[in-house]
Each structure stands twice: as C-alpha cells, then as structure tokens.
Amino acid sequence: MNRFQRSWLLLKTSLSVIGHNKELVIFPLVSFVCTAVIILFFLAPSVLRPTGHAYTSAEHWQAISHSLFTNAGNNGNQTGFTPAAVAYLAFLYVLAMFIATFCNVAFYHEILGALNGEPVSIGRGLKFAGTRLGPILMWTLFAGVVGLIIKTIEQRFSLVGRIIARLLGTVWSVAAVFVIPVIVRQEGANPVAALQKSAGILRRTWGEALIGYAGLSFVNLVLFLGSIASLVMTIVFASMVHLYFIVPLAVAGWLLGMFVWGYVSNVASHVYRGALYMYAAEGTVPQPYTAEILNLAWKYRK
C-alpha cells in the first residue's frame, strides 16, 4: 500500500466515525464561540470605557491607545505596552488557553466515548471537563510558560534563536500530542506527569507515529492541489467561452469548500489521534478501525 492509499484509508475511517457521531463536528465551533464571547466580555471594559468621545470617533480609539501604550527611549520614539496593559493581555492569553484546553478535554472525552461505541453529547463532555478544572488550569499555566520561553528565545537570539525556537517548538508539539487524552483518562494528572505520559507513548512508537500524522497532511495536500487545478481549469474555461460571471462564483465556491473541508478534516485528525491514543496507551482497537489500519499509522514497539 503506497503512502496516498494508506493516508486515504486512515482519513476515510476517521470520517466514518464523524458520520456516525455528527455532534463531534460541533465541538470546535463551540470552543471558538465560547472563547470569543468570554474574551470579548473581558476585553470590552478596556476598549469601551468612557473617554469623553463617541465610540465611533477616532479620538476615542486614540485615547484607548494612549492608555495602553507608552513611549520609551531617549527620543520617546520607542513604543511599548504599559505594565497594566501587559498584565491585562497576559490574563487574556491565559484565559483563552484555559477555555481552549477546557473545550478540548470535553471534545476528547466524547471522541474516546464515540470510539467505545457510546453516543456523543456536548453537554456531557462539558460537564466532564468541569471535573478536570485543576489539571486543565495547571496544564494551561505550564504550556503558557513553555510557550513564553520559546517565544523569548526566538526574539532574543536572532537567526540562531529562531532555529532553536522552531526545534524546541517541534519537540514540544510532538511530546505533548497526547496530553489532552491523558488528562481525560487520568484523574489528577499534573502537567509534568501528563507530558511524561504523552512522551512515553511516543517513545514506544516514535518513527511510525510521525509518519502517520504526516500521512493525513499528505492526503490533504493532494486534495488541495487537485482543487487548485480544478479551479484554474474552470477559470480558463469561463474565459474561453466569455462567461466571466462564473469566475467569482467558482472562486467563492472554492473558498467555501476549502473552509468546510479544512474544518471537517481537522475534526477527523482529532478522531484519528484519539484512536491512536487508545491503541497505543490502552491496547484496545477502537471501532471502526482495525489493528491492521492502525498499524499503517504506527507499529507498537516493546
């Protein structure tokens, strides 16, 4: 079986899980809406506070800008955030990460349930995440500190810093790939223990796991290139027959299709990750996957 066939088989299997549990598609949307609403709720007091000017006027936004930024340097030509603004933005950053992690815990609880043949429930997932507030908060703070360290290295050490930061970022992303399922399965797991558990799973399956994740990206790349070719052919044909109104319709349809496919394939990748976690960490083969299909993604090493 070549790379594309393997990738397509994995993707089809993951999509079939979504087809039988359509509520899974709603979770990322719920996460986005909750994050946006809560961030706007906390952001509103700072940007909508009275300044003596109309909210739609440029003077209002200039006053808000002056309250958030301060000039520094000998000539006052260097601009930076005020200490209060830095603290406020840090709070919003941590809050956004916490909400995203909370929703991901709810999401993976339902993914693992669906792979066990249980019906999916958004309310049940969110209720379960409420029982993991401590681990979610600890992981949010831990991941936020690690991200800040990587970002600082990237900014402080020029080209070398960017290279080191990218390497560290890649290692971090790979090591933490199963942290959310670990938080779901293990009550009271602290962030270091969760990261060690996630990395331990990968140490047993290192090479083939990375090939599996690249596989889903590969089939998406092939489909993307195919859609680009179809769009170009449609535009050329419309130009040849002088039906120019087709061009904006084709472009709009392509953009909409790419958005929908990107959204669904992202959900499929999470389902795939949940299946791999159950296979590697718990030794179970979730339906509708088979051991043969999952072995296409990685091979378990003692």
| Contact assessment for residue 72 and residue 99, using Cβ atoms and an 8 Å cutoff | no
pLDDT for res 213: 54
Q: Please tell me the pTM assigned to this model.
A: 0.79
d(CA 180, CA 161): 29
The more confidently predicted of residues 125 and 294 is 125
Alpha carbon distance, N-terminus to C-terminus of the chain: 25
Mean pLDDT of 10-21: 88
Whether 293 shows a pLDDT value over 60: the answer reads yes
46-100 pLDDT, tens digit per residue, is 777 777 777 777 777 777 777 666 654 445 555 566 777 777 778 888 888 899 8
What are the start-end ranges of the H helices in 3-132? 3-20, 26-47, 58-68, 83-115, 122-129
Q: What is the pLDDT of residue 302?
A: 40
Residue corresponding to tokens 């996957």: 289
Helix (H) or strand (E) holding 78: strand 78-81
Q: What is the pLDDT of residues 131-152, one digit of tens each?
A: 999 999 999 999 988 888 888 8
CB burial class (10 A; 0-12, 13-18, 19+) of residue 164? middle
Count of residues in the chain? 302
In the predicted model, what is the mean pLDDT of the chain?
81
pLDDT at position 73 is: 46
Distances 275 to 112, 133, 193, 279, 280 between C-alpha atoms, Å: 7, 24, 21, 6, 9
Segment 236-251 mean pLDDT: 89
Q: Quick one: tokens of 122?
A: 């958004």
> Which of the two residues, 259 and 295, has the higher pLDDT score?
259
